[in-house]
């Protein structure tokens, strides 16, 4: 099993790591269990102090960790800095709000009396060690959006990160240790995917969260189901971006470019399917294609780069297969569609039109800067196309008509509906999807309570 930093801009292997053996895994599981026994009783104010300290250290490390992320998975360094800043913000948000989010709930007095109790409450208690299986595309953010609420709730974390971002994974463990968290509060497991099943089966691990592919989600959910353990799954998306006639077409097209190519197009919540009302289709398409064509592809450590390389050679090959399949089915390539003649795993911003249901790209997630363009005759057809997907993570709608807004909010099958803007996660709002995009929620109060024992406390009269 290869655990290594391989620079996607040139294919050079920079660092390699040995996978942890059984003895080291066992040591870390024991440490997690032992640490939880004491950490679970710490005051929320003390957890908040440690979390704020971790956020301050992350701010200090921003440039260093941004360059590490860029070197490991290829995102433009300016986007990596923004990711680090976003993580520090989320850590501070949970440090500030965790106590109120986890406060005891008091049922209505009439219900308490009706139950025969003198008093009653609902309390949120931590579960224990939680295993996090995380992907490479947002190597810092994906982990922090789990770790910050989990640690603030009194749980401890075990991170199995993607094998191509080991330096980021080790940095995260070091960050929490430097902040003053006990060694067993957050541990990185340098292991291959084959070791996950045994760890999840271990009785000391109480729950799991996974962000990643459908096959990985099925594997974790299957084992967790067999062991009767709680899971949260976020398995990707093929988000629709719907544009109606009342929209500001210039602004919609500009945002559409960013929404598609953020993180080199390798984002679960990136808009991927652009569904445009026929009255404004051609005007939008012209502006959208022009914007995609104008993007600068380059070395991701350079400040003026808009789109860097994909994270792996396999990832680029998978994307090319989707584009080639669409071509064979009659799709039109409005821009891009050919890999550039340069080292590294680059692929250009690409727009395809003439998509049919028989093409793989209509059903599968394109994890790279490839957009599909659809024409809709009215709102009903736009909703039909949007929901004709196995995924349901988020969605984007551009309209100034409030009646249309209400229809889209009611009818779109997604975990989020963003009106006149692009999908973006924020610690105050729940994040997650439906259908094959997974289940459960991260972030907000919903996220911090996912890995809590929701306990009824009842006192007799």
Ramachandran category for residue 157: left, alpha or beta (phi over 0 → left; psi -120 to 50 → alpha): beta
Task: Give Cβ neighbours of residue 326 (< 8 Å, ≥ 6 apart).
Answer: 352, 355, 359, 360, 361, 372
Q: What angle do CA 266, 175, 299 make, to 5 degrees?
A: 35
12 is catalytic: no
How many residues are there in the chain? 461
Contact by Cβ (8 Å): 352, 370: yes
**CA nearest neighbour of 4 among 167, 135, 132:** 167
Instruction: At 420, list the tokens.
Output: 């006149």
- Residue 359, beta-bridge partner list: none
Q: What is the C-alpha to C-alpha distance for residues 312 and 315, in angstroms, rounded to an integer?
A: 5
Helix (H, G, I), strand (E, B) or coil at 211: strand
Question: Which of 87, 185, 268, 452 is the catalytic position?
Answer: 268
- The burial class, CB within 10 Å (0-12 / 13-18 / 19+), for 56 is middle
Contact by Cβ (8 Å): 142, 172: no
Rg (CA), the chain: 23
Q: What is the C-alpha to C-alpha distance for residues 59 and 160, in angstroms, rounded to an integer?
A: 24
166-179 and 141-152 are packed helices; what angle lies between their axes, rounded to 10 degrees? Answer: 30
402-411 and 379-387 are packed helices; what angle lies between their axes, rounded to 10 degrees? Answer: 30
Place of tokens 């990832």: 315
- The burial class, CB within 10 Å (0-12 / 13-18 / 19+), for 60 is exposed
Q: Rounded to a whole number, what is the distance in angstroms from the first to the last CA of the chain?
A: 61
Under DSSP, the state recorded for 295 is: P
Instruction: At 401, list the tokens.
Output: 């008509």
Question: Which of 83, 234, 365, 404 is the catalytic position?
Answer: 234
Give the Cβ contact number of residue 441 at 10 Å: 20
Phi, psi of 91 (to 5 degrees): -60, -45
44 is catalytic: no
Q: Most distant CA pair in the chain: distance in Å?
A: 78
**CA nearest neighbour of 185 among 28, 59, 57, 27:** 28
Tell me which residues are annotated as active site.
Answer: 234, 268
């Amino acid at each position: 099993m290869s655990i290594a930093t391989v620079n996607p801009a040139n294919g050079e292997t920079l660092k390699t790591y040995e996978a942890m053996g059984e003895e080291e895994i066992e040591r870390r599981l024991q440490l997690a269990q032992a640490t939880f026994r004491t950490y679970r009783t710490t005051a929320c104010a003390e957890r908040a102090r440690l979390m704020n300290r971790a956020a301050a250290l992350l701010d200090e490390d921003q440039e260093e960790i941004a360059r590490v992320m860029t070197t490991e998975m290829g995102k433009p360094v300016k986007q990596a800095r923004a990711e680090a800043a976003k993580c520090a913000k989320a850590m501070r948000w949970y440090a500030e709000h965790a106590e109120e989010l986890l406060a005891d709930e008091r049922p209505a007095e009439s219900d308490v009396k009706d139950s025969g109790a003198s008093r009653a409450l609902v309390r949120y208690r931590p579960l224990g060690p939680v295993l996090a299986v995380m992907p490479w595309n947002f190597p810092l953010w994906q982990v922090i959006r789990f770790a910050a609420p989990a640690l603030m709730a009194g749980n401890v974390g075990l991170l199995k990160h993607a094998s191509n971002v080991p330096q980021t994974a080790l940095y995260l463990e070091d960050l929490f240790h430097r902040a003053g968290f006990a060694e067993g509060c957050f541990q990185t497991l340098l292991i291959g995917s084959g070791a996950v099943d045994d760890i999840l089966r271990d009785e000391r691990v109480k729950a799991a969260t996974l962000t990643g592919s459908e096959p990985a989600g099925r594997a974790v959910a299957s084992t967790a189901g067999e062991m009767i353990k709680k899971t949260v799954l976020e398995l990707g998306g093929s988000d629709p971006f719907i544009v109606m006639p009342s929209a500001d077409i210039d602004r919609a097209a500009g945002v559409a470019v960013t929404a598609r190519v953020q993180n080199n197009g390798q984002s679960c919540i990136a808009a991927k399917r652009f569904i445009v009302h026929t009255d404004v289709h051609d005007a939008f398409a012209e502006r959208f294609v022009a914007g995609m064509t104008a993007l600068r592809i380059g070395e991701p450590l350079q400040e003026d780069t808009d789109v860097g390389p994909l994270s792996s050679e396999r990832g680029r090959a998978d994307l090319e297969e989707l584009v080639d399949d669409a071509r064979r089915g009659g799709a039109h390539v409005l821009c891009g569609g050919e890999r550039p003649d340069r080292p590294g795993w680059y692929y250009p911003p690409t727009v395809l039109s003439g998509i049919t249901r028989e093409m793989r790209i209509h059903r599968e997630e394109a994890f790279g800067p490839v957009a599909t363009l659809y024409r809709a005759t009215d709102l009903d057809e736009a909703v039909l196309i949007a929901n004709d997907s196995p995924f349901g993570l988020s969605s984007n709608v551009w309209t100034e008509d409030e009646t249309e807004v209400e229809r889209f909010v009611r009818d779109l099958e997604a975990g989020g509906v963003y009106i006149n803007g692009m999908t973006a996660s924020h610690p105050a709002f729940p994040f997650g999807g439906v259908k094959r995009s997974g289940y459960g929620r991260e972030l907000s109060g919903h996220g911090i309570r996912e890995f809590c024992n929701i306990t009824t406390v009842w006192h007799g009269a």
